Structure 1
Amino acid sequence: MSGAWGGLARGNVHGLVMRAGRADETSLVVAAQAGDPRALDDLAATYLPLVYAIVRRALGELADVDDVVQETMLRALPELRTLRTPECFRPWLATIATRQISTHLHRRQVDAERTAPLEEMTDPPDADAENLALIHVELSGHRRKTVRASRWLDPDARALLSLWWLETAGRLTRAELAAALGTSVAHAGVRVQRMRNQLELSRSLVAALDAGPRCPRLTAALGGWDGVPSTLWRKRITRHTRSCEDCGRAADELVPLERLIVALALLPVPLARSATVPDKPALAGATGNAVVMGAESAEVGSLPTSRLGYSANSPEDRSSRRSSLRVR
């Protein structure tokens, strides 16, 4: 294991990126744009965890995360030559990820409205928390509820939440967040505040749904709900919770968002994710190497590494990655 792959194995991804410095990052992008295959490998390895963190925080379900991370990386890297300002690579990549997230969420929302089965009127299973436990990320009850609350956001707000999570944890600057949104810093601040307001309402909603015993008027208001978070039902439920003293008390114990965000910001790419992408050797190789960091820092040694499609260190695999991600 050598180069950036070895760096990923030895330490924290955030530390690797920050130690390199912006000048080194820009040089890496320029070299990749010029067709340097090692630079392209290193660029993919360095930034795959950032893309994964953005997508993972917005989508939750790991099967969907795989698809969107794939599309983001396979759209971005071959288009490097179109990037006129290499120093803006990070927000440029975040823009592509955000657009892919929004497209995916809008499509999923339409599908859910068309096909969602009627279920008991309870909050949907906390599959996201189960997945987080699988990779040994310890979340408090408040953090779990915040993750669940994010499912009630509008698709565009969920994509923005991923970026704001990383900004709050120091992984992105506000200028980079604004660039990813394609707007000014001032307008980005307005959009962040709007998203935060929506998230706070959603956190109160989740707290009210979890209250025991649940407010009987809330139970009555849930008549006809299919158990799937949606914009329509968020508005209906919060119309009740904002005016109900009982439901309001359920939200009194919520802690400030900033105290919860940092621990959730940059999740390690879980092992065995590349088992779902055998037809995309370039991304599978990058994932297989990037997760070594996750295995060491999050102590995920029990996960099935044998499911990885191949050893990403072989010359054949490096050649395959370069072929699939070649800058055109």
Structure 2
Amino acid sequence: MPGWPNVGRADDHRLLEALRQADAHAPASLYDAYADRLTDYAYTCLRDLDAAADAVHDAMVTAQSSVHRLKEPIRLRAWLYALTRFQCAARSSGRTATGAAPAVEEAEDPELSLAVHEALGELSRQEREVLELTLRHGLAPAEVSAVLGLTARQAAQRLTRGVDHLENAAAAVILARVGRAHCPQVSALLDSWDGPLSALLRQKLTRHIAGCEVCAEGRKKHVAAGRLLDLVPIMYPPLSLRRRVVDTCVNPDRDQTRVLITERADRFDREGFPVTAEFRQKRGRRAAPDRRRARGRRKVTPIVATLACVVAAAGSLAWVSGQDAAGSIRIEAMPPPSTQPQLDLPSDGSIQDPEETPAEIPSEDPPESSTAAPGSAPAVQPTPISQPRPTPTPTKSRTARPTSPALGLSCPGDIGDTTGDVIWLTARNAALSWTATVSGGATISARKGRLKAGATGRVTLTVSEPGEAGSATVAFRSAGGNPVCKVWWRGENAQTPPDGVPQQTTTPRAPSPSPTVSASPTPTVPAASEPT
């Protein structure tokens, strides 16, 4: 971009080393190299030059205080943009950036400049950020993904939509001047129209160009998104910002200010990039269904216990009601006893031997004598009929299964023609240490690390030879599992994936078979050779 200092990778390395060594001149050198770029980007997010200057000030103070968090010197530029975006997000609080149109009267083509500004305002926030970071600020696809927290595929999709919309809007202005003779529909839309295009007419032409092959060819000849962004004026920082940044970074009296600014960026990932509130909300939405399911399981347990108590009480009442208050015997119809012995199963699943029921012992007391009337038949005492006691049904108590640690992995798979992507790791249920090995035509940013319980980190994968198609396999080892991530890319010269690279079809995993409960009340006793 004209007017911006040209900072190379060697310059980034020298700046980072100066910051790490607490060089007093490092804040000024960092400001001179990146202040113009970061202020222009912050203005894109906030549409307020004063707020953009404050965001750049806090981002550079945070960079000087948190430079030890950055693991790779080659990613200094993307790291500074990420810090600036974090400060802008803290000031915008989720509101859409709105601002007045820049002064286009002094532009070489005021009508085209206004159309470009309106088209950029019609894009979503992420589409415009991807478009400007790639074409206006010159960041690589892997750097754009790291700044915005997107995968390479998501960033590429947003870039394609942004470029198409911007070029179609600009082509509507250009083809309205020179393309009427080539497309009858454009001529019909512009019939009896003279002068600058209105916003409504420009939108109609934009939608037409998106679906017209003739106008699409004209768009390729006359319009390029990179040159269109040059029509947007650069928003330079105020002159006083340099003095503010240097004073806050090196003045001993501003220690408290530095601490307050640094504490705002309280969360960083494994690569040293700040974690924005937007990423935290996404994780919260993913965790909400799990919390609801856990609450549902806690509610089911007391309901089952209550039903078991009701069934047991009903059985006790039925057994007590077999005798009336006078002690007379009432014979109830009982189900025929089973020919198989009935076993009690304990809650741990082991099989116990049935308890032997002791035989009834006749009473040793002599029967009471009674004087019978002469000639009368002796009274026959009724034989009491013993009722079998109902066997209480054992209830199995649910034992909470201990949660085992697990290492979650998010693999990008096909990264297309990009030069790299990000692999996300998550430590579930416990803190985990991991190691990684890579095979194939790629390198990774870290080969080992440690994650706290519930923490998420990322490992950057970089293609060694981006011009050729290839694949790579990254194998992780940890106490929570050994996941494997396989990625492949097409390269700039290859049209089909190389041999051995799987296609983009995913075979769903077969569900684990659920244990079946036998409908027969008689349990099966294992054979003598099986462990009990």
TM-score by length of structure 1 reads 0.53
Match of 1:47 in 2: 34
**Residues 221-254 of structure 1 deviation map (CA, whole Å, 9 limit, x = unaligned):** xxxxxxxxxxxxxxxx958963699xxxx99887
Match of 1:129 in 2: 103
Matches within 5 A, 1:137-176: 138=107, 140-141=109-110, 142-167=112-137, 171-176=138-143
Match of 1:304 in 2: none
State the AA in 2 paired with 1:166. R
Match of 2:146 in 1: 179
2:285 pairs with 1:285:
no
Task: Pick closer, same or farther for the CA change 1:64–1:145 going to 2, 3 Å.
Answer: farther
**1:150/1:202 contact within 8 Å kept:** no
**Which of 73, 76, 84 matches 1:89?**
76
Rounded to whole Å, the distance in 2 between the matches of 1:29 and 1:165 is 25
Rounded to whole Å, the distance in 2 between the matches of 1:217 and 1:87 is 44
Task: Pick closer, same or farther for the CA change 1:206–1:105 going to 2, 3 Å.
Answer: farther
Match of 2:24 in 1: 37
**1:51/1:94 contact within 8 Å kept:** yes
**1:102/1:156 contact within 8 Å kept:** no
State the AA in 2 paired with 1:85. E
**Residues 115-163 of structure 1 deviation map (CA, whole Å, 9 limit, x = unaligned):** xxxxxxxxx953x226x96xxxx45322342123212222222322331
Rounded to whole Å, the distance in 2 between the matches of 1:175 and 1:186 is 10
State the AA in 2 paired with 1:140. D
Task: Pick closer, same or farther for the CA change 1:38–1:190 going to 2, 3 Å.
Answer: same
Task: Pick closer, same or farther for the CA change 1:72–1:239 going to 2, 3 Å.
Answer: farther
**Which of 309, 319, 324 matches 2:251?**
319
**2:166/2:225 contact within 8 Å kept:** no
Rounded to whole Å, the distance in 1 between the matches of 2:77 and 2:250 is 23
The alpha-carbon deviation at position 42 of structure 1 amounts to 1.3
Matches within 5 A, 1:256-295: 256-262=224-230, 264=232, 267=234, 269-272=236-239, 274=240, 283-285=241-243
**1:58/1:158 contact within 8 Å kept:** no
2:162 pairs with 1:195:
yes
Rounded to whole Å, the distance in 2 between the matches of 1:106 and 1:201 is 32
**Which of 47, 56, 63 matches 2:43?**
56
SS at match of 2:28: helix
Task: Pick closer, same or farther for the CA change 1:316–1:157 going to 2, 3 Å.
Answer: closer
2:5 pairs with 1:14:
yes
Rounded to whole Å, the distance in 2 between the matches of 1:86 and 1:238 is 45
Task: Pick closer, same or farther for the CA change 1:34–1:203 going to 2, 3 Å.
Answer: same
Match of 1:242 in 2: 207
TM-score by length of structure 2 reads 0.35
Task: Pick closer, same or farther for the CA change 1:108–1:182 going to 2, 3 Å.
Answer: closer
The alpha-carbon deviation at position 205 of structure 1 amounts to 9.0
**Which of 49, 55, 63 matches 1:76?**
63
**Residues 162-205 of structure 1 deviation map (CA, whole Å, 9 limit, x = unaligned):** 312335xxx43333223323344444322211332444566689
The alpha-carbon deviation at position 215 of structure 1 amounts to 9.2
SS at match of 1:24: helix
**1:56/1:65 contact within 8 Å kept:** yes
The alpha-carbon deviation at position 80 of structure 1 amounts to 1.6
Rounded to whole Å, the distance in 2 between the matches of 1:216 and 1:24 is 47
Identity level (%): 23
State the AA in 1 paired with 2:109. S
Task: Pick closer, same or farther for the CA change 1:13–1:35 going to 2, 3 Å.
Answer: same
**1:165/1:264 contact within 8 Å kept:** no
Rg comparison, structure with higher value: 2
SS at match of 1:151: helix
Task: Pick closer, same or farther for the CA change 1:34–1:158 going to 2, 3 Å.
Answer: same
**Residues 82-102 of structure 1 deviation map (CA, whole Å, 9 limit, x = unaligned):** 112222110111122334445
Could you tell me which runs of 5 or more consecutive residues in structure 1 were left unpaired when the two chains were aligned. Answer: 1-10, 113-123, 220-236, 275-282, 288-311
Rounded to whole Å, the distance in 2 between the matches of 1:146 and 1:160 is 16
**1:48/1:286 contact within 8 Å kept:** no
More helix by share: 1
**2:130/2:155 contact within 8 Å kept:** no
2:85 pairs with 1:98:
yes
Task: Pick closer, same or farther for the CA change 1:40–1:61 going to 2, 3 Å.
Answer: closer
**2:39/2:237 contact within 8 Å kept:** no
SS at match of 2:122: coil
- Number of residue pairs matched? 237
Rounded to whole Å, the distance in 2 between the matches of 1:191 and 1:320 is 44
Rounded to whole Å, the distance in 2 between the matches of 1:76 and 1:26 is 14
Match of 1:231 in 2: none
More strand by share: 2
Rounded to whole Å, the distance in 2 between the matches of 1:107 and 1:316 is 28
Aligned CA RMSD, in angstroms, stands at 4.8
**1:201/1:238 contact within 8 Å kept:** no
Rounded to whole Å, the distance in 2 between the matches of 1:82 and 1:259 is 37
SS at match of 1:14: coil
Rounded to whole Å, the distance in 2 between the matches of 1:316 and 1:101 is 19
Task: Pick closer, same or farther for the CA change 1:49–1:194 going to 2, 3 Å.
Answer: same
**Which of 65, 68, 72 matches 2:52?**
65
Rounded to whole Å, the distance in 1 between the matches of 2:22 and 2:71 is 15
Match of 1:222 in 2: none
